[in-house]
Homo-oligomer: A and B are copies of this chain.
C-alpha cells in the first residue's frame, strides 16, 4: 500500500502538524522516538525542522549518521507512538523490545516504521547554533512515501472509511487528537 510521493508534495505530509516518529541509525545501532514538534520550513527543496532534545539517543545517532526519517503514525498505532515517546533506546533496542516492524528506506537505508502512513527520509543539515540553542534540527527530504489508502494524488484523503489511518496530534500525556472532518475554507 506504500507508494512514492514526489518531492514536490513531500512537505504536505507534515503540513497539518502531525506527531511524527523520528527514526535514525548509525553503525549498527538504530532508534525511534516520538516527536510532537516538527514542521516544514520550505517546499522546494523540501526541508523540515524537528526538535530533538539533548538527552536523547536519537540525537547522538542523527549527529553521527547525518540522516533521519520522519514516520507519520496513525490512530491504529497510538499505543506504539506513546510507547516510543516514553522510553529510551540507548540501553536496549526499541525495535526488538517492542516488536516494532521496520523496512529499509529507499534513499538513505534508514529504518522506516511499519504501520505508519507516511515516511520522509531526510539528510541532516548541520546547524550547530540552532541545535544547541533550540534543539532544532534541519533536514532536507530526499525521498518520501505514503500509504495510498490515505494519501493519493499529492493530498491527504481523510474520510470515514479510513479512520484508523488518520494522523495523530499530541495534546500531552499520551492524549492524541485525531483528524476527523475536513472543511474547506473559502477566501473572502
A residues contacting B by CB (< 8 A) are 12, 15-19, 36-42, 47, 49, 51, 75, 78-83, 86-87, 98, 127, 129-130, 133-136, 138, 155-156, 158, 166-172, 174-188
Q: Could you say which of B82, B167, B179, B187 contacts A174, with CB atoms under 8 Å apart? A: B187
Q: Give the residue of B49, B78, B156, B177 whose beta carbon is less than 8 angstroms from that of A171.
A: B156
A139 to chain B, nearest CB (A): 11
Count this chain's copies in the assembly: 2
Question: Is there an interface contact between B36 and A37, defined as CB atoms closer than 8 Å?
Answer: no
Listed by A's residue number, 9 A-B pairs whose Cβ atoms lie within 8 Å are: A17-B39, A49-B134, A79-B185, A79-B186, A83-B187, A127-B129, A155-B175, A176-B184, A179-B179
Given contacts A41-B134, A41-B135, whether A188 and B83 have CB atoms under 8 Å apart is yes
Complex alpha-carbon distance, A36 and B169, angstroms: 14
A178/B169 in contact, CB under 8 A: no
